[in-house]
Structure 1
Amino acid sequence: MSVARRIVARMNVILIAGFWLRGDSWSEVVPVLEQAGLTAHTPTLAGLESVDDDRSQVTLASQIAEVVALVDSLEGDGKVVLVGHSGGGAIIHGVVDARPDRIERAVYVDSGPTPEGVAINEGLEATGADAPLPPWEDFDETDLRDLTDEQLAWFREIAVPEPARVAHDPQHLANPARNEVPITLISSTFSRAEIEEAIAAGVPYFTEVPLMARATIVELPTGHWPQFTKPRELGRLIVQAVGT
C-alpha cells in the first residue's frame, strides 16, 4: 500500500452541502469515498432538516460553529479533510480559519474560500428568515448543465429554504494560519483559465486563493451540482485530493 493510500484510508472527510440541500445530497458520492477507505461525514446543518424549521437564529457563524464542533468531536482521529459545495465553501473556509491545525486539506466544489467581509450571496431573495430555491429561470444555463428534467423536479421537491443569514452575512476570518492549509478547487462551471483570470483581476470572491500556500485547481466540466450529474467522477477527484 502506498503512502498516499495509507493517508486516505485513515482520513475523516466532512462534506458540507450547498444551499437548499441536506447532508444526504452526497449519497451518490459517499460510496466512492468509502471504497477508498475514507470515513465520510455528511451533516445536515441547522435550518435545513425540514421546510418547517425555524431558521431565524441560524447564521453563517452558527453553521461554521456546528462544523467546528464536529471537527472537535473527531479529536482522537487525526486530521480532517473538509469538502464544501457551493455555499458550503464559505462554511468550510470558516472552519479552516478556526481550526487550521486540524485540517489536512480543504476541497471547494464549484466554490472557493470566501474572503473576509464577503457574503456568499447577499442578493439572494428571502422572505423573513427563509431564502427559498429560486425558479430555474434565474440560474445560468451553465449551472443547470447535465441536469435532467427528472433531476430538476426531484431537486425542487427536496429543496429546503436556506437560512437567509447564511447567504447574507459577511464572512469573518481572523487566523492567518489558515493560509498554510492546502486547498483544492474542483470547478465544474468555470475553466481553470477563467479562475486564473479572475484571480489575476482581483475578483473579490477569489482573493483568498493566492494567499494559500498550496492551491490546486481541477476541472470537472458539468453543471453546478456535480454530486447529482457526475457523482462518481466527483468522488474520485475528492479521493485524489485527499491523497495528494
Structure 2
Amino acid sequence: MTNNASSPTIILIAGHWLGAWAWDEVLEHLTADGRRTIPMTLPGLDERDPERASRTLDDQAAAIEQTMAQAAASEARPVVIVAHSGANAPVSVVLDRHPELVRRVVWVDSGPVADGTVFAPDTPEDLEEFPLPPFDELGRQASLDGLSTEALERFRARAVPEPGPVLRQQAKLTNDARLAVPTTLVCCSIPSAQVMEWADAGHPMFAEVSRLDHVDLVDLPTGHWPMWSRPGDLARILAAAATSPVD
C-alpha cells in the first residue's frame, strides 16, 4: 500500500472524444495501490454540457488548472499530469503557465506540442464539432490494436464529439521552463526508437521532444488506447513514473 502523504496526486486526462470514464480500468489499479488519482473530463467532452461545442483550448487549460488547485498543487507538493493523445495541447499550455506545479508529465502515446501548433488547421470555421469517425477510418490514423469488441462498442457508445474551437485554436507557449519539467513518454503505437528518430529529425509530431531536458522512454507495445488494451501494465508504468526521481 502506498503512503498517500508521500505520493503525488496523479491527474489523468484522456484525448479526443473521451472523458474521465476512459480511465476506469486504470483507476481501479491505481486506487487499489492507494494512490490519489483524479481522472478528469475536459470542457467540451461532457455530454451533459449544452454549450460543449463552443468550448475552447483556453477553457480546457483553465479546467486543468482548477483540478490542480483542487489537488492543492504547490511547489512543495507538485502533481503528476498524465496526458493521452489529443490532451497534449491543453496540457502543454498548462505546463507553460505553471511548470513549478508539475512534478512530472507523462505523455501516453503522445507528446508536447510546440508554440503555434494547431491540431487541425484545415478545420472549417463553421464546423461546430467533430464526432468520432467510423473505426475503419479512425484505424488509418491511430492504431486500434488490442481493443476488444466490447471496448470498441463502449468507445462508440460513450464518445463525445470534439469541439471545433479546440481543433482550430493555436497553442500559445512562451515559457521555456516547461521544457525542464521531468517527462516520461509511454510509447505504444510508435516504438520509442522511432519516436526519438523523428524527434531528432524535427518531425512536427515530436519536434518538442528533442528540446526537453529530462526524458524517460517506456515502451508499451499496443494500440493508441492502452488504457483499454493494457490497463494493468499502463497503471504500473504510471505509478512508477509518478514516484521516480526527478533530479
2:56 to 49, 56, 59: 59
1:122–1:220: structure 2 CA closer, same or farther, 3 Å change rule? farther
Q: Counterpart amino acid of 1:90?
A: A
Q: Hey, what does 1:161 align to over in structure 2?
A: 161
> How big is the shift at 1:112?
0.4
Q: Distance in 2 between matches of 1:35 and 1:71?
A: 22
Q: How does 1:231-242 map to 2 (within 5 A)?
A: 231-242=231-242
Offset at residue 167 of structure 1 (A) = 2.2
Q: Distance in 2 between matches of 1:46 and 1:174?
A: 23
- The one-character-per-residue Cα deviations of 1:97-126 (angstroms, maximum 9, x if unpaired) are 111111000001011001111123345689
> Partner residue of 1:109?
108
The reply to whether residue 208 of structure 1 matches residue 205 of structure 2 is no
Aligned-residue CA RMSD (Å): 2.2
Q: Tell me, in whole angstroms, the C-alpha distance in 2 between the residues paired with 1:208 and 1:111.
A: 11
SS in 2 for 1:75: coil
Q: Percent of pairs identical after alignment?
A: 35
Which runs of structure 2 are paired with 1:142-153 in the superposition (5 Å)? 143-153=143-153
Does residue 1:118 correspond to 2:107, yes or no? no
TM normalised by structure 2 equals 0.89
Distance 1:90 1:63 in 2: 9
1:14 match: 11
Q: Could you tell me whether the CA contact under 8 Å between 1:29 and 1:235 is conserved in 2?
A: yes
- Alpha-carbon shift at residue 131 of structure 1 (Å): 0.8
Partner SS state of residue 204, structure 1: coil
Q: Residue 176 and residue 129 in structure 1: after superposition, are their counterparts in 2 closer, same or farther (change >3 A)?
A: same
- Decide whether the 8 Å contact of 2:17 with 2:159 is kept in 1: yes
* SS class of match (1:216): strand
Matches of 2:81 and 2:125, distance apart in 1: 28
2:29 equivalent in structure 1: 32
What is the identity, as a one-letter code, of the residue corresponding to 2:139?
A: D
Residue 130 of structure 2 corresponds to which residue in structure 1?
131
Higher mean C-alpha deviation, range 46-55 or range 218-227: 46-55
Q: Which amino acid is the alignment partner of residue 235 of structure 1?
A: A
Change (3 A) 1:120 1:86: same
- 2:228 is paired with a residue of what secondary structure? helix
Matched, 1:75 2:83: no
**1:76 Cα offset (Å):** 6.1
* Pick aligned residue for 1:50 from 22, 39, 47: 47
Q: 1:76 to 1:51 in 2, by over 3 A?
A: closer
Between the two proteins, the alignment pairs up a number of residues equal to: 241
d(CA) in 1 for partners of 2:221, 2:8: 27
**Any gaps of 5 or more consecutive residues in structure 2?**
none
Task: Answer whether contact 1:105 1:182 (CA < 8 A) is retained.
Answer: yes
Greater mean alpha carbon deviation, residues 13-22 or residues 142-151: 142-151
Partner of 1:87, secondary structure, is helix
Offset at residue 132 of structure 1 (A): 0.4
1:223 maps to: 223
User: Retained in 2: the 8 A contact 1:84–1:91?
Assistant: no
The question of 1:97 aligning with 2:113 is answered: no
Shift of 1:138: 1.3
Shift of 1:168: 2.5
State the SS of the aligned residue for 1:81.
strand
Matches within 5 A, 1:184-199: 184-199=184-199
Letter in 1 for 2:155: F
Q: Deviation of residue 8 (structure 1)?
A: 8.6
Which consecutive unaligned segments of at least 5 residues does structure 1 have? none
